[in-house]
Amino acid sequence: MKRFNSHLALVAGLLFTTLSLAHADGLNMAKALSDAFAQIAGQVQPSVVTITSEHMMKHPALSNRDGRGPSQDSPFYWFWGPDNNRELKTTSLGSGVIIDADGYIVTNNHVIEKGENIKVQFFDGKIVDAEIVGTDPKSDVALIKIDAKGMKLKPIKLGNSDKLRVGEWVLAIGSPFGSELSHTVTQGIVSAIGRSSVGLVDYENFIQTDAAINPGNSGGPLGNLDGELVGINTAIASRSGGYQGIGFAIPVTMVNRVTSDLRTKGKVVRAWLGVKIQNVDEAMAKTLELESAYGALVGEIVKDSPAANADLAVGDVVLKVNNEAVKNSRTLMNLIAAKHPEDKVTLTVLREGKQKEIKVKLAEFPEEYNLAADTRQQNDETLGMQVQNLEPKEVSR
Rounded alpha-carbon distances, angstroms, from residue 249 to 171, 244, 381: 12, 15, 21
- Give the closest residue to 316 by CA, choosing from 300, 336, 334: 300
Dihedral Cα 369, 55, 127, 241, nearest 10 deg: -80
- Examine the residue annotation and report whether 47 is marked as an active-site residue of this protein: no
**Which H or E run includes 7?**
helix 2-44
Choose, from 53, 55, 92, 110, the residue flagged as catalytic: 110
- Examine the residue annotation and report whether 218 is marked as an active-site residue of this protein: yes
Query: Under DSSP, is residue 363 helix (H, G, I), strand (E, B) or coil?
Result: strand
> CA-to-CA distance for 160 and 162, rounded, in angstroms?
5
- Give the closest residue to 305 by CA, choosing from 260, 348, 263, 366: 366
Taking the CA of residue 378 as centre, how many other CA atoms within 13 Å lie in the half-sphere pointing to its CB? 12
> CA-to-CA distance for 56 and 286, rounded, in angstroms?
53
Choose, from 55, 95, 140, 183, the residue flagged as catalytic: 140
- Examine the residue annotation and report whether 140 is marked as an active-site residue of this protein: yes
Report the length, in residues, of the chain.
397
Choose, from 53, 92, 191, 218, the residue flagged as catalytic: 218
Active site residues: 110, 140, 218
